[in-house]
Amino acid sequence: MKFLRVPIAEAAGGVLAHNVIDAEGRRILKKGELLSDRHLGKLAAHGRDFVYVAQLEAGDIGEDEAARRVATAVAGPGVFSPHAATGRANLKATTAGLLRVNVVAIDHLNEIDDGITVATLATHTFVRAAQMVATVKIIPFAVAQSAVQAVEEYSRSVAPTISVQALPARKVGVIVTAHQNQHQHIAAEFAPALQMRLERLGSAITQTDFAEHEVADIAQATRRQLAAGHEMILIVSMTAIIDRHDVVPMAIAQAGGVVEHFGVPVDPGNLLLIGYAGSVPIIGAPGCVRSPKINAFDLVLPRLLAGERITRRDLVRLGHGGLLEEIRERHLLREAID
């Protein structure tokens, strides 16, 4: 594509590069117009001698067609693109679920040509049906067909680039640990926010057990919930886990599970623990899950419900972007140390 300043008499067939405004500030013609003799007469009537135009060359693809093809190339299962206009094509989710983005692929695609851009929501974001998950924007009025073909070929080789995975409904058990008569109080603190999170993601708490805050009691409750067929177990406690050898992680081990990792570089939610009994995730919940505000638990919950086995490496990589909005209900705020 050529970008030129040309006399009005030579501008027919070119694409108008800029809005044209009259002396009163009113728009005469808008950028992107394919200039005809009628347009040129209008420009001449307003005293214009020259105009900036874009002229497509052999092998160029117009912005809308290029946007449509790029969007089609990167859209995987659970994603569609309704149409393209003004060089833009938005990609939307066909279902509520977990957004999966091949981040390496997106980086590569955005390096293929200056005029082709693909922007997405962050991978692992939970999205609603019909929510926009990505947008393709063609910067100039046309790009080389070879660049669009490069996007298409690469996208086929790494597919899917952008997809949405619907979340199944999971049976989730909760174990409330406390001493003596504190169980109902602890349960009441945690239940509303936990139920809200799970229901939003299409799952539900199907059993709640109470246990003394002792290794043997928690282990017994864990085995009972595993035997009942729960697909995820959340342990909420009267006191936060402070060490890998604390009561809750020791109880998980005694119940036949393993601790994948304790402690994450996300605040609020540093004290999150994730373990497994076979394929069943067991989460030691940090105290901040009492609040509906986003915390470390929210960053892993959709992925766990999707059936992903989250590893220590997954958790330690949450540090970039892991400083979240403060939860004012916490007993010790970050600012308190200052």
Task: Count the domains in the chain.
Answer: 3
**Residues of the domain holding 112:** 60-165
Whether residue 156 is found in the same domain as residue 253: no
- Contact indicator for 327, 288 with CB cutoff of 8 Å: yes
CA angle 96, 97, 102 (to 5 degrees): 130
111 and 209, same structural domain?
Answer: no
* Confidence band for 30, pLDDT divided at 50, 70 and 90: confident
Same domain, 64 and 43: no
Domain boundary among 165, 187, 216: 165
Kindly report the backbone phi and psi dihedral angles of residue 101, in degrees, each rounded to the nearest multiple of 5, phi listed first.
-120, 130
Residue in the block written with tokens 């005809």: 36
Alpha-carbon distance 130 to 90, whole Å? 11
* 318 or 21, greater pLDDT: 318
Last residue of a domain, one of 132, 165, 198: 165
Position 331 pLDDT exceeds 70: no
Q: Residue 133 and residue 116: Cα distance in Å, rounded?
A: 17
Same domain, 186 and 325: yes
Whether 18 and 108 share a structural domain: no
Q: Which CATH number do you get for residue 133? A: 3.90.1170.30
- C-alpha count within 13 angstroms, C-beta hemisphere, residue 301: 28
Mean pLDDT of the chain: 93
Within this chain, do residues 296 and 175 fall inside the same structural domain, yes or no? yes
Q: Which of the four pLDDT bands, split at 50, 70 and 90, describes residue 332?
A: low
Average pLDDT over residues 259-264: 97
Task: Judge if 157 and 183 occupy the same domain.
Answer: no
Across residues 16-27, what is the average pLDDT? Answer: 83
Residues 65-99 pLDDT 10s: 999 999 999 999 999 998 999 999 999 999 999 99
Give whole-number Cα distances, 311 to 175, 269, 323, in Å: 23, 17, 20
pLDDT at 190 over 70: yes
Domain CATH for 257: 3.40.980.10
Q: For residue range 235-252, list pLDDT tens digits in order.
A: 999 899 999 999 999 999
The yes-or-no verdict on residue 335 having pLDDT over 80 is no
Q: How many whole angstroms separate alpha carbon 72 and alpha carbon 91?
A: 9
Mean pLDDT of 250-269: 97
Q: Report the distance separating Cα 274 and Cα 263, nearest Å.
A: 9
Domain stop point among 147, 165, 183: 165
For residue 138, give both structure tokens: 């063609």
CATH number (domain holding residue 22): 3.90.105.10
Which residues make Cβ contacts (< 8 Å) with residue 220, sequence separation at least 6? Answer: 211, 255
How large is the average pLDDT for residues 183-193? 94
Is residue 52 over pLDDT 90?
no
Query: Same domain, yes or no, for 90 and 239?
Result: no
**Residue 103: enclosing H or E segment and its boundaries?**
helix 103-112
Radius of gyration of the chain (CA): 28
Tell whether the model's pLDDT for residue 55 goes beyond 90.
no
- Same domain, residue pair 71 and 141: yes
Tell me, yes or no, whether 103 and 188 share the same domain: no
